[in-house]
Amino acid sequence: MSWFLSWISGAILYAAPILFPTLGEAVEQRAGMVNLGLEGLMLLGASLGFAVSFGTKNPWLGVLAAAGAGLLANLIYAWLVVHRRAHQLAAGLALMFFGIGMSALIGKPYVGQMAPVLPKYAPTGPQSLLFRYDPLVYVAFLLAPLFWFLLFRTRFGLRLRAVGENPAIAYAAGVSPSLIRYIAAALAGTLAAVGGAHLSLGITGTWSEGMTAGRGFIAIALVIFSRWNPLRAIVGALIFGGAVVLQLQLQARGIGVSPFFLDMLPYVLTVLVLLVWGRGVRHVAPASLGRVYFGTE
């Protein structure tokens, strides 16, 4: 039983840094934009957050700086795809490489350094020692229902989804697709960078180049897996976090499962989901996803 609890506790911790970018990408894709640059945004957040925490001795300022940088960087992406009408996949990849390079540049002096990390808190209760997390973990899991509410229960969410389905009609209904897409991109950039900062300031307390190790891409897979629904994204992130922790715990118990196989799991799940739901009568993917909106004027 204690084994099960420690697995759950680990799954929650490792779900958090992936849940942030997944939620952001879900919102962004609901607004009709595929952003392949998450990995770069996460890295940017991880390195800048660490650098600022190192410089100011305050991890919260680090998280804040990461959020701001992610927001700005993703606004560049939004500007490219909304105003410059660039191809979304190309713009996303450019953003990714920008983030990788920029994060390495920012992080260079901080390799092998120590910075103040986020404090850990536990809910009171018998298992409180096991479920001690930094506040960003709680934030991640609170944001999921909040984003679900935002997308599916508010006027803004309706407009955002309308832009993702058909920007021309949304425009005709008096919604500005550009504005909506900028807002969605700002949210997504912020969240992805905070997810990265959680890796460097919450989980590991270090910066190392490329430390996101593909989590930005797993997040994109999880968006499809969760069918653009923030609540299902929790499930996806927990499966991913659980797989990471499970394989290490199994190894520590002498049960050999290839780490490479389990690393593959989120992608296998995504492919399965696409197989099962992909041929459905009504595809849930936003109809205008990835399309350039040329305006209605």
Partner 1 sequence: MKRAVLGLVVLVFGLVAAAEPCLIVGMIIGGTKDDAGYNQSQYEALMALKEKMPCVEILFAENVPAGEAEAVLESMILQGAKLLFPAGFAYMFPALNVAKRHPDVIFMHPGGYMLADNFGTYFSNVQFAYYLLGVAAGLMTKTNKLGFIGGMPTAFVLGNCNAFHLGARAVNPNVTTYFVVTGAWVDRAKEVAAAQALIQQGCDVIGSHLDSPIALAQTCCEAGVFYVGYPSLAVQKFCPEYWITGLGLSWGDFFVEVAQQVLAGTWKPEHVRRGLEAGFITLGEFGPKVPEEVKKVVLEFKEKLVSGELQPFAGPIRDQEGNVRIPEGTAWGPLDMGKFDWLAEGVVGSPK
Query: How many Å apart are CA 24 and CA 30, to the nearest integer?
Result: 10
Query: How many Å apart are CA 27 and CA 32, to the nearest integer?
Result: 9
Q: Which of 252, 275, 276, 281 binds partner 1 (CB under 8 A)?
A: 252
Minimum distance from residue 273 beta carbon to partner 1 (Å): 24
* Site for partner 1 contains 206 (CB under 8 A): yes
* Site for partner 1 contains 116 (CB under 8 A): no
Q: Which stretch binds partner 1 (CB under 8 A): 99-107, 139-147, 165-173, 278-286?
A: 99-107
Q: Which of 68, 178, 204, 267 binds partner 1 (CB under 8 A)?
A: 204
Minimum distance from residue 212 beta carbon to partner 1 (Å): 8
Tokens linked to 159? 């407009």
Nearest to 225 by CA among 6, 43, 22: 22
Alpha-carbon torsion angle 199, 201, 205, 206, nearest 10: 70
DSSP tag of 292 = P
Tokens 């959680």 belong to residue? 198
Size of residue set near partner 1 by CB under 8 A: 38
* Site for partner 1 contains 4 (CB under 8 A): no
**Region class of 7: left (phi > 0), else alpha (psi between -120 and 50), else beta:** alpha
Tokens linked to 66? 């990461």
* Residues in a beta bridge with 133: 121
* Site for partner 1 contains 114 (CB under 8 A): yes
Q: Which of 116, 157, 259, 290 binds partner 1 (CB under 8 A)?
A: 259
* Site for partner 1 contains 112 (CB under 8 A): yes
* Site for partner 1 contains 17 (CB under 8 A): yes
Minimum distance from residue 44 beta carbon to partner 1 (Å): 13
Minimum distance from residue 229 beta carbon to partner 1 (Å): 26
* Site for partner 1 contains 10 (CB under 8 A): yes
End-to-end CA, the chain = 63
Q: Which of 61, 93, 169, 248 binds partner 1 (CB under 8 A)?
A: 248
What are the distances in angstroms from CA 15 to CA 11, 22, 200, 220, 242?
6, 10, 15, 14, 8
Q: Which of 55, 97, 119, 123 binds partner 1 (CB under 8 A)?
A: 97
**What part of residues 18-57 is at the interface with partner 1 (CB under 8 A)?**
none
Tokens 């700002």 belong to residue? 186
Minimum distance from residue 136 beta carbon to partner 1 (Å): 13
Query: How many Å apart are CA 45 and CA 10, to the nearest integer?
Result: 22
Residues near partner 1, by CB under 8 A: 3, 6, 10, 14, 17, 97, 100-101, 104-105, 108, 111-114, 199, 203-206, 208-211, 213, 244-245, 248-249, 251-254, 256, 258-260, 263
